[in-house]
Structure 1
Amino acid sequence: MKKMTRQAVFRKLAALYERMASAYAETSAAIGLSCEGCEDNCCTSFFQHHTYVEWLYLWQGLNRLPEEKRNEYVSRAQDYVRNAQAMLDNGVRPNIMCPLNDDGLCGVYEHRLMICRMHGVVNTLRQPNGRQLSFPGCFKCQELTSGMEDVPVLDRTDLYKELVKLEMGLLGSKIKSMPKVDLTLAQMIVMGPPELNR
């Protein structure tokens, strides 16, 4: 794919995120799923993210914040990384609040990453090798769908393909030489924006 300007990539990513939101809203409504009144918080889920385009877009959101607020998030992210590593070293999957969570609200809501947007509902993903992965949704979703005959499922394959195209558009020929991304959101914050001009 032809290399694109960052502005074009970000514009298309924002549009893709809107499509994700619509797909999620449609599926969650069909299930009857709402986050309102939930005793759990998916912002404590331990996720790794895998694209430079989302990492860079996250930092676009962080850079729009007042410096004091951004520094607060960086400090929280440093604590998160340290505590998560200690838990992993002890064989425990981290269950720590996201450093961007302010009393239940995301501090960079418009710039949150794909997994933050898609987590919760039942969804599937077809890999390039044809293998299909299935995710049952959050505990509340599983409770709501346990008695359903035809469970509404969000197929995120095309959304992922579009994200991969944007990654290719951002990196161009560098995509073959850049290290793979496998980072938590907190690590992306601590490390700063990705260095793409190598």
Structure 2
Amino acid sequence: ILLINGAMAGTSAWNSADKPNLTPVLYTPTNPKGLRFRQLAPSKIPRMYHSVSAVLPGGEVLVAGSNTNPFYMMKKYGDHFKFPTEVRVEKFYPPYLDPSLKKHRLIIVEGESDKQLKYGREMRIQVEPRNRRMNRRGIKVTMYSPPFTTHGYSMNQRLLVLKVKELENGLITAVAPPSGRLAPPGYYLLFVNHRGVPSRGMWVHI
């Protein structure tokens, strides 16, 4: 879980927010107590209340937004506003995109993988390299629902972990979510995680 953007004091409306949160925090609930929160590389751009973040197909996080101001209050107009309107966009790279981990990143062969899924049915995902020796326990297949993100909040954000039944020569057999209660109909980004490093996402529909 990545906690990013926002303010640490004041209120959300207009110019009442203060003390911008510039340092992202990574929360890993499976780590031992006392080691679950980790601070990541800080930004230099205050994002405040009207901030957004969204996961991209490559695994990066798009970060944008700024303070709530009437119209566009740019810095060049003077210092009338502590946090002027911000139009710069950032791309945040989580730790799993560290270049030293690139050797673990698999590539989904989209032309040989299922993109139209059915609830509770098996699906096939072909990954490269095919001849790599991989332990099924080190493979995780996930479906990420692209949320509606605004005001520092992502609505309908969900990550589903699918059951992996078989792995042979880079061909993964997984099981789609059982019902629309867990995965409402629509488009999802499907990732194959190998040793904690995600592949580039593939758009699928269920």
The bucket for the TM-score relative to the shorter chain is under 0.3
Greater fraction helix? 1
> Whose strand proportion is higher, 1 or 2?
2
Q: TM-score, normalised by structure 2?
A: 0.26
For the pair shown, the structure with the greater C-alpha radius of gyration is 2
TM-score by length of 1: 0.26
Higher relative contact order (CA 8 A, sep 6+): 1
